[in-house]
Chain A
């Protein structure tokens, strides 16, 4: 079982819709979770971090964490073509100091 799993996609949503990206992780003791956005040919950019169960909102982005079910998700409201990118889920696993473990990423396509 992979430590951090994401559906590779592509996930296609129409402009203005809500995009829902999901991530599951295997280490029940993990405490810190991150979402990164990566445009083709560019390095990842941190867009959200979440540490507690529940929702965390930042503009059009909402991160959701459920530690009991070991999943974290990212919702993008009012999706725009500029949101088209690969979204990487990253987890700070227990006992790994400050080393992040990444999922393989979900490619999001926002269509006109």
Chain B
């Protein structure tokens, strides 16, 4: 299957700082990537659709100024959590679409802890 790499896998940051998470498609080009967050024992919640070369599409209720998404190339999308607070602590996961299959391949996820 296609390979999606996410970095870092784990990050701890202080409240008020910003954190950048990278999502790379290693063996295919992805015009579309997806960002999810997942709280313990809960299902995936889609945050936004990242579109190469254009603005991301955010789901209802997701603050676009807090969760900045940049998809500058066909293999890289980044999610920046700005002015992080403890309630932003969560598991963030990206997925990438190798060809219209529905964003079927996930990165390893990033566990963010804001202290």
Contacts and interface: CB of A to CB of B under 8 A. Distances in A.
B86 to A, nearest CB: 19
Interface of B: 1, 6, 32, 34, 42-44, 46, 49, 91, 93, 95, 97, 100-109, 111
Interface of A: 32, 34, 36, 41-46, 49, 88, 90, 92, 97-100, 102-105
Contact of B101 (A32, A41, A45): A32
Contacts, number: 53
Contacts of A97: 32, 49
Contact of B109 (A32, A42, A49): A42
Given A32-B101, A42-B108, 15 more contacts: A34-B104, A41-B111, A43-B93, A44-B106, A46-B1, A46-B106, A88-B43, A98-B32, A98-B97, A98-B100, A98-B101, A98-B102, A100-B103, A102-B44, A104-B43
Contacts of B44: 44, 88, 102
A26 B105 CA distance: 24
B31 to A, nearest CB: 9
A99 B104 CA distance: 9
A107 to B, nearest CB: 9
A105 B43 contact: yes
Contact of B105 (A46, A88, A99, A103): A46
Contacts of B46: 99
B60 to A, nearest CB: 13
Which of A36, A41, A43, A103 neighbours the largest number of chain B CB atoms within 10 Å of its CB? A43
Given A43-B109, A46-B1, A98 B43 contact: no
B43 A90 contact: no
Interchain residue pairs A-B with the least CB separation, the first 10: A43-B109, A92-B102, A104-B43, A43-B106, A100-B102, A98-B97, A43-B93, A102-B44, A98-B102, A44-B106
Given A43-B93, A43-B108, A99-B49, A32 B43 contact: no
